[in-house]
Amino acid sequence: MRIRAFGLEAAQRPGGWLLACSHVSHLDPFCVGSQLPRRVSWMARIEFYRRGWTRALLDAMHAFPVNRRGVPVKAIKTALERLKQGEVVGVFPEGEIKTGGESVLRGAQIKRGVCLLAARANCPVLPCVILGTEKLNAVDPWLPAKRGRLWMACGDFIEPVQGPDKRAARAEMAARIEKAMVELYARLRCEYGLEDSILP
């Protein structure tokens, strides 16, 4: 891959923290994890654990399942335990692959789970944007003469928002994360001359 990136040095921060990443492809966790200096424990949809080979792959990545129906109590406990142990926990705050106007990069809202985890663990969130992974489902990007292109950026850490009104605090933090991701997307486009259509 031909990778253009900035801000990845922020991920050298020791201790437990959350990585909040944009989501345009199921290959995002592999591509993002390969570029960061620390191992990321990804929160992965429980549906991916129903096949042996995908379960083995996710286990090898130190991922853990989350059931998106109802309140994912087990996944929350696992995430908090790993953060307490000083690990990096990766989440896709959009909840699933989002494109066009539904993407946080185009101004859509994220889910509040990442903010809840940050508040309970009292740990910061590192916003991250990756582009180009959706094109890796084809053969051409993997050919030596046609190496695929990826663009990736990390911003500044966002500290958890605390307050007596927990719902308001989560909303405020979510707004900060959304703003940071929109700004990272804009900066990627500016730095590398990308068209707005680079986001599917």
- Residues pairing with 6 in the sheet: 153
Contact between 96 and 102 under an 8 Å Cβ cutoff? The reply is no
Q: What angle do CA 31, 98, 184 make, to 5 degrees?
A: 60
User: How far is the C-alpha of 122 from the C-alpha of 83, rounded, in Å?
Assistant: 9
% the chain with pLDDT above 90: 72
User: Minimal CA–CA distance to 21: which of 78, 119, 89?
Assistant: 89
Look over the chain and give the mean of its residue pLDDT values, rounded to a whole number. 92
**What's the pLDDT tens digit per position in 72-108?**
899 999 999 999 999 999 999 999 999 899 999 999 9
Query: How many domains does the chain divide into?
Result: 1
What percentage of the chain reaches a pLDDT higher than 70?
96
Domain containing 131 — which CATH number? Answer: 3.40.1130.10
196 or 158, which is more confident: 158
pTM, two decimals, is 0.91
Q: Which residue has the tokens 């929350």?
A: 76
**By the 8 A CB rule, do 155 and 127 touch?**
yes
Q: Can you tell me the mean pLDDT for 32-46? A: 94
Range of the domain at 148: 2-198
